[in-house]
Structure 1
């Protein structure tokens, strides 16, 4: 059975200018990758190193009927905010995306008690990361257009309700270049107003995933993510977040996580394949016998651009997972029509 060391909590993933790689279960007090000494082979001014760091926060929230994804990302040369709401029954959807030049957004270095706010024409978002109070709050307001209904939301991710264990990782691209991630699964409560309809999300039936990423990602970044989650038959949170990227020594250092009955199982590295392309079945498997999944897309988001200094291709299907997962204690969990997402990202910037 695959085992990965869980390290004692620490205030930062950087110590005296040196990156500390590993897996933890408590958020850092401060994540400042610019404090790493000599992340590149040549000496670069601080402002250039800053422009090599990409960062984002994202949410995936769903109940029996609705699936909501929200992401705010800062890749320095431009910023992206995206909101997608999908009714799994009627197939009604809302997609809002705003791309802004340059990296004026400053995402928090700490999740203890810090907020991010952005207001622009037709759009407002506020994220209050407040892990000191076992809470993350998300406020959204998207104004209507001729082709898109209005959307307003206030949602609270309640970390105290079921006490699920988060996963925190700091992973190497090279000896001194790295990426950090915080992943957590929680129950969610709140309200949505979508197309004139008022919807209440109860924590007994609404689950969510929260992600926080920062990293010296490669100039040509390639990353795959697979996320699925819901409530299990016993009304306990159940979900997973699995990725395949460009980090090194993935047997010791990876971001793959399974949550079952509040407990975290670090999963081994996986191989994600799409034999017939990203809009057909995805196959997710490991070599340790803990991950064997098939993802079947139902609805796909595509986004891309090609500017002078940047190129992006992003494909994000919504769909269902089937297969088997195994916990660290050897418990086999059948996965049957579990709603989730896949994400395929290529970014050159």
Structure 2
């Protein structure tokens, strides 16, 4: 059975200019990868050049009885971008809100044990805060609508000390040992409120108190000049257990991806490191995807239902992001050999192209 050693989390993901590679339980104090020695060549370059190749992503996903949502926040040093998308599970209808955040030196903090990510723009207000010492987590978002999108509000909280909440941190080469990517996952059970004119039934606006599954990820990495990546996040219930898992692959996967990767499965408070996967869509981007490994632990298919596309082109900078809602089916196995049958679970797939 495939496995990776899980060790006690270090104080920092970078110590004395060198990455601390591995998989860790617990939470490092510092999540800063800027102080690596010579990350790009044998010649030492100024830090403002090497630091410009670092990008940080924060993703918060939630699943209720009727809706699936994701808040994706990108920190590119002095500016940021946020996109919040909510889908109705039954019909795949969606709401998407976007916001540029400028003149912010640090949108996603370097301290991991406690932190806050927020934007106070009048039409796009959100605050995501966490504190692993006290066990508090909250995500509050107030989105002002327009002629085609209604006002939307959600507020969720979670107890990070609850036994059903699990965390997992990975530090992996990107793709060489001189550079690294640090990834932190947290899988809490949420409670809160989701309201808005979009959520109307029989002419009445819903303002429901909901219990839901959450998935929270921070990823900080050195990037190549051209990046192609695929990611799949799945939330739901399989064989009477709450499961959440995240699968990721890109053109800067570590050379030894069996030893170092960020794929992980959460089942009722237990985490399982997963093997590297191959994600393909041989019938087209909006047709069935196939996700498999070579260890007989992952055999999945993903059927897209709704695609949200974001394209930007500024001089030599070009980005193309696809955030796709769909359903996932197949099977996945945990570290104890227990097989979970995945049937009609909600999933968010992401296909990204970035040219710096």
TM over 0.5: yes
Contact persistence 1:122–1:143 (CA under 8 A): yes
Q: Does 1:199 align with 2:176?
A: no
Take 2:92 and 2:15, find their aligned partners in 1: how far apart are those partners? 49
* Partner-residue secondary structure (3-state), 2:187: strand
Change in Cα spacing, 1:102 to 1:281, as seen in structure 2 (3 Å) is farther
**Superposition deviation, residue 111 in structure 1:** 2.7
The one-character-per-residue Cα deviations of 1:287-319 (angstroms, maximum 9, x if unpaired) are: 000000000111111111121031111112111
Two-structure CA RMSD over aligned residues (Å): 1.7
Contact persistence 2:167–2:187 (CA under 8 A): yes
**Superposition deviation, residue 74 in structure 1:** 1.3
Change in Cα spacing, 1:283 to 1:9, as seen in structure 2 (3 Å) is same
Q: How does 1:229-308 map to 2 (within 5 A)?
A: 229-234=235-240, 236-245=241-250, 246-248=252-254, 249-308=256-315
Contact persistence 1:54–1:216 (CA under 8 A): yes
**Superposition deviation, residue 233 in structure 1:** 4.5
**Superposition deviation, residue 88 in structure 1:** 1.5
**Superposition deviation, residue 162 in structure 1:** 3.7
**Superposition deviation, residue 247 in structure 1:** 2.2
Take 2:10 and 2:62, find their aligned partners in 1: how far apart are those partners? 29
**Superposition deviation, residue 344 in structure 1:** 0.6
Tell me the residue number matched to 1:213: 219
**Superposition deviation, residue 113 in structure 1:** 2.0
Contact persistence 1:51–1:77 (CA under 8 A): no
Per residue, is there more strand in 1 or in 2?
Answer: 2
Show structure 2 runs of 5+ residues with no match.
199-204
**Superposition deviation, residue 6 in structure 1:** 0.9
Contact persistence 1:178–1:217 (CA under 8 A): no
The one-character-per-residue Cα deviations of 1:302-349 (angstroms, maximum 9, x if unpaired) are: 111121031111112111111111111111111111111111111112
Take 1:330 and 1:148, find their aligned partners in 2: how far apart are those partners? 46
Tell me the residue number matched to 2:17: 17
The one-character-per-residue Cα deviations of 1:111-163 (angstroms, maximum 9, x if unpaired) are: 32222221224111111121222232111111121111001121113323343
**Superposition deviation, residue 251 in structure 1:** 0.4
* Partner-residue secondary structure (3-state), 1:34: coil
Contact persistence 2:92–2:305 (CA under 8 A): no
Change in Cα spacing, 1:91 to 1:324, as seen in structure 2 (3 Å) is closer
Change in Cα spacing, 1:286 to 1:102, as seen in structure 2 (3 Å) is farther
Contact persistence 1:186–1:237 (CA under 8 A): no
Q: TM-score with structure 1 length normalisation?
A: 0.94
**Number of residues paired by the alignment?**
346
The one-character-per-residue Cα deviations of 1:182-202 (angstroms, maximum 9, x if unpaired) are: 012121111122117343343
Take 1:190 and 1:212, find their aligned partners in 2: how far apart are those partners? 22
Q: Does 1:335 align with 2:331?
A: no
The one-character-per-residue Cα deviations of 1:13-51 (angstroms, maximum 9, x if unpaired) are: 111111111111212100111121221213222222222
The one-character-per-residue Cα deviations of 1:59-89 (angstroms, maximum 9, x if unpaired) are: 1101120111101111247421111111112
Residue 186 of structure 2, aligned match among 171, 184, 187: 184
Tell me the residue number matched to 2:201: none
The one-character-per-residue Cα deviations of 1:226-249 (angstroms, maximum 9, x if unpaired) are: 111113453x32121111121211
Change in Cα spacing, 1:90 to 1:298, as seen in structure 2 (3 Å) is closer
* Partner-residue secondary structure (3-state), 1:108: coil
Contact persistence 1:191–1:198 (CA under 8 A): no
Contact persistence 1:2–1:288 (CA under 8 A): yes
Tell me the residue number matched to 1:35: 35
Take 2:107 and 2:97, find their aligned partners in 1: how far apart are those partners? 21
* Partner-residue secondary structure (3-state), 1:118: strand
* Partner-residue secondary structure (3-state), 1:47: helix
Take 2:89 and 2:127, find their aligned partners in 1: how far apart are those partners? 26
* Partner-residue secondary structure (3-state), 2:133: helix
